[in-house]
Structure 1
Amino acid sequence: MNNVNLLIVDDEPIICRGLRETVQWEDAEVTVIGEAYDGEEALRLIAELDVDLVLTDICMPFMDGLRLAEKVKETMPHVRIVILSGYGEFEYARQAVRLGIEDFLLKPAEIPEMLGMISRIAGEIRKERRLDFARRQEQRLARIRELMLGGTEANLSPSSEPSEPHEAAAEYRFVASQIVRGAEWLDKLDEPLSPAAMECWKTGVDSALNRLGAQPLSFYYHPNVLLTLCHEQETTDERLLSERLSEIAYHSVLGEKLVFAVSATFRDLAETKRYGMSAVHLLYAATVDPDRSVRFASGADGSCRSLSSELAPDTEKRILQAFIQNDKEQMDGGIRQWITDLSARGCPVIELFRLYEELRHVVLRKMRSSGVKNADQAAEFPLAKTFDLHLYNTFETAGAFISAEMHAMMAAVQPGTLGKNGWLVERALGYIRDRSHIDLKASEVSAWLKITPSYFSVIFKQHVGCGFTEYVNGLRIDRAKVYLSDTHDRVFEIADKVGYKDYKYFVAVFKATTGVTPTEYRNLETGKVG
């Protein structure tokens, strides 16, 4: 609510009425919420009503304006006070100043002067409201983030959650959003979303929800999952919510399509994690109907439809033969046919992941039973650590990943290929070290090696133990440490020298890697030298 509530206090009712009726309070977005004729009555009304500002005379029976101001300062320090004083009341005014009262009007006050002062104070009150709301939202967001990323549900119990009086009847819901084909898009960038891109995504979603009156609190659950808690006074119509989200599905700045998953509504904040995860899990169903931008959960779990699927015997046979014969073309054809069948049946990608785990175990088991050499080498590719459903969230990207991993497994059982892959990675490391200070992409390195980006990703992680981006960031941060310790270059200059065009992103990566900001690191190193 933008209006500021004013209480007028004077022992003469005619003055109270005159002030209420003759001043155009609405011009200052001020509402006269009541009148009191002495300090005691004013205190009672302030306790009962939602008063922001008191305009009071000094000389009154029972409790004068000065005593009233003192009481209000003690018990309700957020309430602002303006004192009306006469020419002969300077001693009162001095005492008021000692109490911290800064706003005075000399009687008889001119209406423009009075309205100007009240308007100024009302603006200050509204600004403080916004700051207070932002502080509370930040505190709430921190608790929600902690809860969703591994905290306990007690963190958001109603007793610990700061709230406004109107929040008791509020409803909540989560909106999760994700970029379709996230792996391909991030491969283009070859680094996590920059702070500017992440803020742009968040702003677009928050703006759409704000227009519906749903107060949004957004944070990144995953580099490709923005999770937003909506606080609704009235339940938003699903059709209207779907329309608003669909309008921003094709994000003009990101240049990629967004899909949305919306949880059911809930009132108990202790259920926050349950409903938040329901929205996240619903994203897994995004590829069941690629043209549908917004999906709504039917209940608290919100899990996507799971089909009772089994590996087709002919698929199993075809892929096993491809392994034995080292036939990549046959392997890719079998995987494509398998994925096409699953897609046609409406399987979500998470089901593809489950079936691939099964397929992988079947292939490895039959390879061992057939006496294939180096079968154990193929088993060393840890699928669960590399397959990210929030990135490989379409059949196309998931299929490319599966093909690359199967090729790597196939190569592992062929004599001499482990050494060949190691040689490829060593060449890649030299190439990366020489060029880490420029805008370097994994796709550029894989093209130089004349292998596919997906295959490069698999063998790089297998041999180095981390992903391409993590490795490049490590090189850049190590170089940045040297510059910070040995030179007086500015931080933004160092960021550019080591390969970061986005200064804020450099600071974020540096702190995530070292635990301190670049400036803090330099100060620590300078302290050691001194």
Structure 2
Amino acid sequence: MRIVIVEDEAAIREGMVKLLHQINPQYEVVGKAVDGQSGYELIRSVRPDLIIVDIRMPDMNGLAMIRKLQEEQVRCKVLVISAYSEFEYAREAIELGIINYLLKPLKISELKKALDKVDQEIRRDQHKEYGFSLENIFMGCINGQLKPDAYFHEQTREKYGFTVQEPAELFMVWLGNGYEAQKETAKGLLEHVADHTVKFAANIRELKGWEMLLMILYRQSGGESQLTYFEKSVVPMLCDNLKKPVVCVWRRIEQLLDMSRVLQEMRKDLEWNLCSPDRTLIYREAIQKQQIVPIKYPLELEDRAKRALREKNWEELVLCYERLYEYLVQETHLPSQIKESLIRFNWSLVSSQKEKKEESELHIQKILQRIASADTWSQIKQGMVEFMGILDYSEPKLEEPSVSDLIHRAKVLIRKYYNQGITLEETARKLFVSEEYLSAQFKKETGNTFTETVRKYRIKKVKELLVETHLKMNQIAELAGYSDPKYMSRVFKEEVGMLPTEYRKEVQ
């Protein structure tokens, strides 16, 4: 609770600050004023939850200050503390709607009781403003911003017959790129399900950013789960009436307040669609029962695809991809392993060609990132078609044959981006390997660390600019990827044995 104290006696004013903190450390005194006029200006500025005010003060008394604030629609709770018990003051306070009125000298128990009462009034006002609508309650659970108290639970139970502390079940319908076209139809089907049952109440929310609808099942009769009903009846009905993609995910939660966290987990469970037949309801218990088989990477198929690519035999290459898809779904594998195998397969084809042009390389990176986050085979195959469409745009390979494809690609990235602050972390991410593995392989194959290699390219660029231009040191530093020309000079001296200015004089 944010509080402003308006009191002309300094001892009482400062004593009140200490007393409030002792009563409740959560109380925050956001301002103090010595008279009604300065209090009025302070309150208009900070808009506290509560004003603790004396009545008799210079310039403007406490009640006049409150009246002026009310005329300007500045709404705050008010606790009047006065040494005067005249009826006229009490009557005027009542007219202003002030029901909290304490007489000096204060008793701590009375002050604490009055503050508790104000705190409850503020909470009730906040809840009324919130509206207690089902839409606000469920959206608060979805975004994790709902912070209910006992009064909130009391009101939701009285008004709607449940509280957000009770268990519920969630049914998620993901529509992918067909979301906008099909959401109204899907919503109508789910509303039909909700309207024709007495076993639960339901609330249907649109999650546009995730391209899905969420059906929240609450106030369930006897706590009976609806999993079997949705798996056997609702999912087939949706699949019969909607175009693909339609992926359905189910979870039971211990309380509605857990919804934000659980939705993130359900979003991740979507990828199990890659391992499941069509019209399957994905839920945690079924996932845990699956017998996961590690993938044995199909090297023979990879070699066959490389040969088809070299020979520009596109029909054979497409056939290789079809065989790869079939192989990956013959047994149950982790979705992450399926996508990792696809990415590795694609990188092997890129690596078997000559180095890609810069514009194609960026495109390839984006395609592989989409595959890494794919939830359906249609998303993956769409990426594959796009991927094959750019495979034959190539340029001569400049790296030595003794360097592996991975390190070759890393050195190409360094050459292109050394002056843009490229890092080991960023390079590893682009190549879909760990930082540790790339660092070890780089040192093993080149004899230099990644950082040392970047530095050599930068020093080479500095030398060229020193010799071929009349640019200033700060301009050269920027073009070579250094943010500080002094640091550039220090590194240059370590590498070359002299400062850049000395080097320029010597070679000219």
| Shorter-chain TM band | 0.3 to 0.5
Q: Which has the higher contact order (CA 8 A, sep 6+)?
A: 1
Bigger CA radius of gyration: 2
Q: TM-score, normalised by structure 1?
A: 0.41
Q: TM-score, normalised by structure 2?
A: 0.43
